[in-house]
């Protein structure tokens, strides 16, 4: 794979969790690949880059919800030698559960990143853009971890992206996940409000419970218990990085298949039962939407069922207990 210089037009980006508290100069260096640092600092000095319509200094730290205006620039972009294969095109199209004039809802498979970077040449958004070169406005609305499967929202136009980001800021998007946890609780429902702090250790992003961290709230409800495991629904009230995974760990019941925050002995046991991935799935999203966007006011619910192999493995674990 090679790279080429490509001129981008002016853009407005909404800052999400992944760039929260990052310095604006470092954010621009990462965003404007191939652009000399001297040019980037000149953009800042001349006010070509604006945050929330105002000038900022290079040391400014971005916050979730910030609107960053980027000027035109020549940036390095990955150039695929042969584009997508016919199978890759059909595979990405088959993940689409819903589509209208402004929105695409995808059921992302585990193991596929939502975007390229850090050694990953293609993610969901790159593949979809390559499969649909005529659609110039495709943008991720939110993100899922690479190993998390399930519902992912992609905006087809800038107006839809703004509406969906506004809904998220107002906490009007109801997000539900399914996870298999190792262990048992005495209660059917448990809420975890431990604050979470993000850091980097040896180049790897790690999130820990920390009193100086950001407020976070996850509501868990047990759907079924068997053997030494619980299938739970997790409702996100906040959207912190690795939130469900770290909150589950903090309760002493880590997610099965979690190689970063889980129990390796349990993970090995479950691999032998056929669960060879992180058992975390974004299964339901509810928010106001319609053909005309959020203005319709009608709540819509999108659901993506668990992969059949996960369901079968869990049922097998339960049936072994009953024998």
Active site residues: 145
Nearest to 249 by CA among 207, 187, 197: 207
CB 246 within 8 A of CB 207: yes
Contacts of 227 (CB under 8 A, 6+ apart): 317, 318, 320, 321
Burial 12-50 (b: 16+ CB within 10 A, else e): ebbbbbebbebebbebbeebbeebeeeebeebbeeebbb
Token couple for 262: 């889980």
Phi, psi of 305 (to 5 degrees): -70, 155
Residues paired with residue 16 on neighbouring β-strands, in sequence order = none
Token couple for 4: 């080429």
Contacts of 200 (CB under 8 A, 6+ apart): 206
The string of DSSP letters for 231-260 reads: EEEEEESS--TTHHHHHHHHTT-PBTT-TT
Question: What is the separation of C-alpha 95 from the centre of its chain, rounded to a whole number of angstroms?
Answer: 16
The string of DSSP letters for 153-206 reads: EEESSHHHHHHHHHHHHTT--EEEEEEEEES--SSSEEEE---EEEEEETTEEE
User: How long, in residues, is the chain?
Assistant: 323
């Amino acid at each position: 794979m090679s790279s080429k210089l490509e001129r981008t037009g002016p853009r407005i980006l909404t800052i999400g969790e992944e760039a929260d508290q990052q310095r604006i100069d470092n954010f621009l260096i990462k965003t404007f690949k191939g652009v000399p640092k001297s040019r980037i600092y000149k953009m800042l000095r001349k006010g070509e880059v604006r945050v929330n319509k105002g000038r900022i200094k290079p040391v400014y730290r971005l916050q979730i919800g910030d609107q960053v205006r980027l000027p035109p620039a020549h940036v390095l972009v990955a150039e695929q030698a042969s584009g997508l294969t016919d199978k890759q095109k059909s595979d990405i199209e088959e993940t689409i559960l819903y589509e209208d004039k402004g929105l695409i809802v995808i059921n992302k498979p585990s193991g596929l990143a939502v975007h390229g970077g850090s050694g990953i040449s293609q993610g969901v958004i790159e593949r979809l853009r390559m499969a649909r070169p005529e659609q110039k406005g495709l943008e991720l609305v939110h993100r899922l971890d690479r190993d998390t499967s399930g519902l992912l929202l992609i905006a087809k136009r800038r107006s839809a992206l703004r509406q969906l980001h506004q809904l998220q800021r107002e906490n009007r998007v109801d997000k539900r996940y399914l996870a298999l946890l190792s262990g048992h609780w005495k209660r059917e429902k448990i809420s975890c409000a431990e604050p979470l702090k993000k850091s980097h250790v040896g180049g790897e992003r790690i999130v820990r419970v920390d009193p100086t961290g950001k407020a976070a709230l996850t509501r868990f409800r047990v759907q079924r218990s068997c053997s030494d495991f619980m299938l739970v629904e997790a409702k996100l009230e906040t959207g912190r990085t690795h939130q469900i995974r770290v909150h589950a760990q903090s309760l002493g019941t880590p997610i099965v298949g979690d190689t970063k925050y889980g129990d390796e002995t349990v993970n090995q046991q479950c691999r032998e039962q056929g669960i060879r991935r992180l058992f975390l799935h974004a299964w339901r999203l509810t928010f106001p939407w319609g053909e005309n966007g959020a203005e319709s006011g009608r709540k819509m619910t999108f659901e993506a069922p668990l992969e059949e192999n996960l369901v079968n493995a869990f049922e097998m674990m339960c049936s072994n207990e009953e024998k």
